[in-house]
Chain A
Amino acid sequence: MIELSDVHKSFGKVEVLKGITASVQKGEVVCIIGPSGSGKSTILRCINGLESYDRGEISVEGLKVDRDASSIVKVRTQVSMVFQRFNLFPHRTALENVIEGPLYVKRESHAQAFERGRALLARVGLAEKADVHPPQLSGGQQQRVAIARALAMQPKAILFDEPTSALDPELVGDVLGVMRKLADDGMTMVVVTHEMGFARDVADRVLFIDGGVIVEQGAAKALLNQPQHPRTQDFLRRVLHPL
């Protein structure tokens, strides 16, 4: 349902994506791993048009992703995004954050949006925090609200951009738990992450990216347990055994 073919992207003179070709099937969970600065996040940001790309083509459900075309709104309502730093709207309560899109973009009725919004907050375990503003929530709670906000758009896929990297270690589990439940429910997910345990247990496939190219890809367990490429082996060794 998400197709990337030979995608190139430069920031000024630095080419961060050097021909990425990949696809994500419906219901699949794909984790993207790799060193920082390798272009992982840029791939996600190109998929929902937060970033433009220079060459190649990205399509979502057959719809070409072009951030300057009006069709980008349609792409974004189908592919939601969860950010590393949550990016919740601080001037609105948790519930208001969740129903903002349904109310103002999808123009759902108030009654329906509120009902679904409360149900979604319950689904991420935050029913009792509906009327709290984000600054009063912990990082883990904020990220779960952000996941509920993404779900509220009833997307066909969700992109996660290092969703646990800004969290205190003891809060990571709550967020990963919610994500695992989503995966079990059949949500299509693309996750940029450093959580190798999550990638191994939850992902169907893993892409290892370095220097703007896909160095190695394959079934999650196989790739993480027996990486073939020396760069993958080196990266995994450093991540799993930092000492």
Chain B
Amino acid sequence: MTARTRVVVTGLGTTNPLAGDTATTWDRMLAGESGVRPIEDPAFADLPVRIAGTAAVEPTEILDRIRARRLDRSSQFALIAAMEAWKDSGLDVPQQAGELDGDRVGVAMASGIGGVQTLLSNYDAMLAKGPRRVSPLAVPMLMANAPAATISLEIGARAAVNTPVSACASGNEAIALAADQIRLGRADVVLAGGTEAAIHPLPVAAFANMMALSKNTGDPTTVSRPWDTGRDGFVLGEGAGALVLESEEHALARGARIYAEVLGTGITADSHDIAQPDPEGRGGARAILRALADGDIDPANVAHVNAHATSTPQGDVAEALMLHATLGGHATDVVVTSTKSMTGHLLGGAGALEAVATVLALHHRLAPPTINLDDLDPQVDLDIATKQRDLPLGDIVGLNNSFGFGGANVAVAFGSNG
């Protein structure tokens, strides 16, 4: 039996509430800064929630006007993050890319909701001025696979171009599916990630009405507070994360810098409730166990967890239970963090941004903090970093968890390089 194809991470990119690039995002994460701010748009005036993690850098400042005009905001974020990751990998430079064959390059760019702002703005135009005013570009802009297709066009990717849709687990699922494509021999390189641009009055009202969003009216930077007794729901964020995944053979052949390895992935479903997580976190625990088994990982080597922890009363506790169920006595030795305390919840983009953070944590041997954790929920027995923390040297594993409405659970285990 031949050894399984190893999958490595060779490029990173993101644009999010903290910053418009990876290096600045990482600096701000380590410093414990918040990207949550008031929404000044008068269209939100009557809403119960008027804060969000809005993008730190407007995509229209990066993309040229005509390009931006033809892309939904979610595709704009995805394209910016993907191009940063692509450049970071060196695959944009012919000398570093080697004989890269587009037929062997894929894309897995997830979306939670698709181009909802394009859909709604076209509906507004139709109501105000009639059906003639619906843009002929509305469909290619709002379709859920538009971000993935946009990236495919940009980099010439002609292997599978996928759009996993599993609500807030989508971004992490994209990474898991991308790793599968490479392991199955269907691609050498897959640009994977997730994006979301849902800070619009309708989705905000919808999430608020289902009691998912925090209604805290205090200082916006303190509202996303995973595992704190004062948490009362998540803060919506927007942006994208992207990772270049590559077979180790392909990366080594071209002398690429390797940040980390994708060791194992696990995808499961709760079959419990359309929106509520299983209160005991059994589906999530099975995803983590599958990821550990898939990577033949000893739980004792797990040094860091970038948790899904969105700052909801029930979900944060369920995830703590999962970590105890899967890591056993080692659960309290692991440095756990929720970067959503700083970024808010990017929905379909969350798992991808958090994968970028997990990979950087392994690469730099530093775990970013969880901010606003003033009073730890007594139901949570975990070692949660409240300041940046050193991670051990040697071969260590970082786990990235994502859970979504519909009962979707995805865990991805990354291994440090060296």
Are A and B co-members of a single complex?
no
